Chain A
């Protein structure tokens, strides 16, 4: 039987006592018996919501992190002043080697700002009145953003009306140069506002922004608009070009690797001149008797027009004949990047030569015969 503790609640009666005045308050203490079990007094963890951290706690964590970083640097024998995050990761991986597959379960030491989710400071003062006038809407940052945005729209319209009254309104004004940018996504907007918004709210926001963009004199609020757009960078920036090396005889060569399904390949492309191809020590005609595979080897060379110029030394293992050919094609294209100009490299990327093919064998599922094939359906 759970022990039933009987708690006594004391309550002070502030009024209702005849003859009580502010100078001589009469305090009457009444005790009420509250019976309950320990189960009732247990905290409802789910109702509390996500864990909240006070700014003081986060500050303490940051101080501890800084001190710990210096200790770690001293332990590793490195300079505590210039110890950056990569060095921290390297040291932790050295001191606490972990074979766990789940990367998030491994030992981690990062700045507290990256670990603890961003939270807003308490929104009300000591008198328990909220600071922001839109606090009671529940989504104060979002509504204040919309309010500000609409204010700017009205501002632009007023400006346009004034110009129209003077007769100076013209549609050929300086347009905002958006370049290659896109609106912030819902996740990015949430990050900006430190508050969750629904898809409906996000759509409304984008609608109003588009409306503002469509107005002729939107260049007045250019800075505000650009703050909510994200620059799209060209994909060529992500291209990793293997370095061009020179061997003893002064011949340029470069190495690259490629993968496809379960095949791995490595290719050394030499600027020799005869156009011979050796795979795992054999001639390519013997290794790939099928024409389609040889065509795949030739594809990057033919595309860049450098067919007879290079000597290829390839090694490949794993997979079947088609996936080995695909792995070799990727390795050759990557190696050719160092011999070819940037424009041609971009052309190769757009031809699909530099993307590793992500298609792999789909697993068999339980209750089915194969990956997709189901068992024969029997009516009874």
Chain B
């Protein structure tokens, strides 16, 4: 903490420039955008949450990012996926592709719904957001591989993955799959919607990739003790 609080509230450049630094002083806390977090009464909170609330009243808070709102339609996973699909900062195009994908998914599901027999109608999921989330969940690997050097050779060692890492893999595989393994004439949104629906049913190339990763981890199980963390 610096000597004067007013010095902390200004835009900041660290004295020794690190490779990864931000214009915010490390004193600042992350913003909490969802409305529900502020309507919870005191009684529902655990001691840590109470302490956190106390801390938030005393410390300055960073500005909310541009792509984030408090509305019900804001989806952090979807925003992350759009950012990963974005090329050269063209967010408009990436978002457009995503919206077309979701529309496409909805169309296909509604077609299936109308064609289905009466008994099976309830099982068909029509909400494209639910399909997107479930498809990503199905694509997430459980274990990953790390390249660890031991005795001059590099071994692929199975390691547990954090949630963020698993989500990253699922999204990365989905996007690379849709960019590369498609016919020249098919649009991105078309291919994406096909892959997402396939992943929802636990079929398709992305699921195959996940299974390959698991098989490799299983095959290299003998080296698991090389992990030291």
Contacts and interface: CB of A to CB of B under 8 A. Distances in A.
Interface residues of B, number: 36
Chain B interface, >50% SS class? loop
A322 B91 CA distance: 11
A180 B61 contact: no
A325 interface: yes
A373 B35 CA distance: 40
Contacts of B9: 238
A351 B3 contact: no
Contacts of A358: 10-12, 23-24, 63
A347 to B, nearest CB: 5
A296 B67 CA distance: 8
A353 B64 CA distance: 6
A298 B38 contact: no
Q: How many interface residues does chain A have, given as a range?
A: 35 or more
Nearest to B73: A295
B164 interface: no
A352 B31 CA distance: 5
B63 A185 contact: no
Nearest to B2: A185
Given A290-B92, A351-B32, A235 B60 contact: yes
A290 B38 CA distance: 29
Contacts, number: 90
A168 interface: no
B56 interface: yes
A235 B6 CA distance: 11
Contact of A292 (B10, B22, B62, B91): B91
Nearest to A238: B9
B16 interface: no
B220 interface: no
Nearest to B67: A292
Contact of B23 (A235, A352, A359): A359
B73 to A, nearest CB: 8
A347 B31 CA distance: 10
A303 B74 CA distance: 13
Contacts of A351: 31-33, 38, 61, 64, 70
A329 to B, nearest CB: 8
A235 to B, nearest CB: 6
Chain A interface, >50% SS class? helix
A228 to B, nearest CB: 15
B33 to A, nearest CB: 5
B179 interface: no
A358 B28 CA distance: 12
Contacts of A236: 57
Given A180-B54, A235-B57, A350-B38, A302 B69 contact: yes
Contacts of B74: 295
B67 to A, nearest CB: 6
Contacts of A295: 69, 71, 74
A350 B63 contact: no
A185 B31 contact: no
Interface of A: 180, 182, 185, 187-188, 232-236, 238, 290-292, 295-296, 298-299, 302-303, 322, 325-326, 330, 346-347, 349-353, 355-360
Interface of B: 1-3, 5, 9-12, 22-24, 28, 31-33, 35, 38, 54, 56-64, 66-67, 69-71, 74, 91-92, 95
